[in-house]
Structure 1
């Protein structure tokens, strides 16, 4: 059964403008208002509460070898890992409502403490910026996949000496655009990298490649990470970095439905209520979750 855990962190994003902070921290409660919790709770899910992040402070300075909000990010990741691990140990499936994509680090710590897990990273961007390919590492939400497979600074990618949280050979990315700057490097790192265009053109092939990567016999399961900017801005503009060429909602629901049953859990990130004044995109995210992820963990 699903345990809904809010992780309203915006610590991994750059500020949208001076004196302001990213609005995605409001997402869990906006989704509650859109009816997500009521729909899931009626089907047997539980509300597992919230892991509150520290204060957002735009403290990044170029050349210091730190991401912005680094201390608060590590603290939040560790506390999130404790909560996620407790849910998994009770035999339930965590459904984490972010927040930004930095929550993947906390998930990785939780699972790496317990065994070897695969990762399905569904995102409109590769999120593969890291110190080996950029001197502008600053915002973990754009670097989460690199951190998850052990390529970021040790403070971020090797919490508790657990790097890599997900082995590259058991990690797949799906959904980036064909012009993503890190696409070629990522294809040389992971066994399966599926652009949005490839997914649209051959959904059966995309699903087969994902399953082959994350269902190896020596794994204890796999995790689903979903950044809703995988959707085309025609359908989901309420994100910090909308890019054309994405999926439609039915593409996404179909894939999630195929993968959810065998997943140990999932996180959903980047929806920004500040960019959705009438709540219509929150209602869409609610529908995608309830249609695509209600079978999470074998329900």
Structure 2
């Protein structure tokens, strides 16, 4: 199966933070050579950094517009390229609010250092990157949770969360982990580090259904491997360990496509981390 590239310069902080520059930085480092077609960027620029009074979500109107734009771009690309898989490069992880309504997967492999299961009341910032997994599984601002029609977009049992930290957490982070639904499959960072390849194989076998989306938030990596993220957190895998986790998921015949997010290009002036990301993706997009 072939691959096409779609950029999503999505920054839910509406501050011009460095994630929005990731698609351009990765293209400059050779990302386009991994795919058959580069479709450019969807219109996902988010502005208006004010928290919605009712939901507590930052930049809610602009986020809704960005999600709908990404859904429309990805839907058209999938229609025009039947049989091809999308590689969606962000931007931050809440771009999934635009991806999932277009792809409508049966399941989601969600690789992230954080569970992203806050809401507008519990998030300090109101950024949708704090809460997109909650929104996708029906626990969030109604306007966002219903982007694909009826909520939830995904049942909690259709999600495998991999790599989130569960040790040495501050009280707020521990409370976020405690909010996760019991039905959601989880392979936390300590288990993942104990056997990266085994963790990937386990995740590959946990979900039912014909099509699964793979989402990789690069802050799952330990900061010693990738410091160029907005919210680094100790206790994550190395590059090689992450590649071992992803290999069984990338090889699955049920894989629909991949999203990669949360690389701060502005914190990588030499381009060394962009090169490492492209090398990681070379093992996935094949």
Selected match of 2:281 from 265, 269, 289: 289
Runs of 4+ in 1 over 6 A off after TM superposition: none
Give the structure-2-normalised TM-score.
Answer: 0.89
Selected match of 1:80 from 66, 70, 73: 70
1:142 positional shift: 1.4
What are the equivalent positions in structure 2 for 1:1-299 lying under 5 Å apart?
Answer: 1-10=2-11, 12-13=12-13, 15=15, 21-38=16-33, 40-41=34-35, 45-60=36-51, 63-89=53-79, 90-112=82-104, 116-130=105-119, 134=122, 136=124, 138-178=126-166, 179=169, 180-181=173-174, 182-186=176-180, 188-190=182-184, 192-214=185-207, 216=208, 219-261=209-251, 262=253, 263-291=255-283, 293-295=284-286
SS at match of 1:161: coil
CA RMSD of aligned residues (A): 1.9
Give me the whole-angstrom Cα distance separating, in 2, the residues matched to 1:160 and 1:121: 19
1:107 positional shift: 1.1
Figure out how many residues of one structure are paired with residues of the other and give that number: 275
Structure 1 residues 150, 198: closer, same or farther in 2, change over 3 A?
same
Instruction: Note if contact 1:95-1:266 (Cα within 8 Å) is conserved in structure 2.
Output: yes
Give me the whole-angstrom Cα distance separating, in 1, the residues matched to 2:181 and 2:139: 15
1:161 positional shift: 2.1
Q: Which runs of 5+ in 1 are unaligned?
A: 16-20
Instruction: Note if contact 2:198-2:245 (Cα within 8 Å) is conserved in structure 1.
Output: no
Give the structure-1-normalised TM-score.
Answer: 0.86
Give me the whole-angstrom Cα distance separating, in 2, the residues matched to 1:283 and 1:174: 24
Instruction: Note if contact 1:123-1:226 (Cα within 8 Å) is conserved in structure 2.
Output: yes
Q: Which runs of 5+ in 2 are unaligned?
A: none
Structure 1 residues 176, 55: closer, same or farther in 2, change over 3 A?
closer
1:162 positional shift: 3.3
SS at match of 2:205: helix
